[in-house]
Copies of this chain bind each other. A is one copy, B any other.
């Protein structure tokens, strides 16, 4: 089984390679049973997709590889500290562990830290930078949306 530092080095090597492609310096691997089953790099610049982070791309590739939305038993190795979106995605997928090499402190001088977004998301909803509103709305004459879904399972 590969060592953690070997896997992190491979994720970092992907990040260096992505710089050569005009991309941002982030790479990630998904590992299961000691084997790399998927990888990803940050493709935001190349694709204009703000969700195309290395970890998200690796998760998507891994779920395709496994034919399952569950990555239970999988670990992620990322070159940099995962952002809140990627941290949330790993939870949804059931990833058991994430290990990263470069911290938000390392990234801060270069504008590559997501610490500010973490801090903002930790505030009460009314104090966050993005307006978040709950407007209870229902379609008239329809069964309850969630009960309707449950009935179809």
Asked whether any CB of chain B lies closer than 8 Å to the CB of A36, the reply is no
B50 touching A110, Cβ below 8 Å: no
- What's the least CB distance linking A22 to chain B, in Å? 8
A19 touching B148, Cβ below 8 Å: yes
Asked whether any CB of chain B lies closer than 8 Å to the CB of A68, the reply is yes
For the side of the interface on A, what is the size category?
Answer: 35 or more
B133 touching A50, Cβ below 8 Å: no
A152 touching B19, Cβ below 8 Å: yes
Supposing A50-B69, A69-B48 touch, asked if A138 and B101 sit within 8 A by C-beta, the answer is: yes
Asked whether any CB of chain B lies closer than 8 Å to the CB of A54, the reply is no
Contacts of A145 in B (CB 8 A): 12, 15-16, 25, 79, 102
A136 touching B101, Cβ below 8 Å: yes
* Among B15, B51, B88, B101, contact of A87 (Cβ-Cβ < 8 Å): B88
- What's the least CB distance linking A55 to chain B, in Å? 10
Fill in one digit per residue for A46-69: 1 if any B CB lies within 8 Å of its CB, else 0.
001111010010011001101111
Binding site for B on A (CB under 8 A): 4-5, 8-9, 12-13, 15-16, 19, 24-25, 44-45, 48-51, 53, 56, 59-60, 63-64, 66-71, 79, 81, 83-93, 95-103, 106-107, 109-110, 112, 117, 120-122, 129-139, 142, 145-150, 152
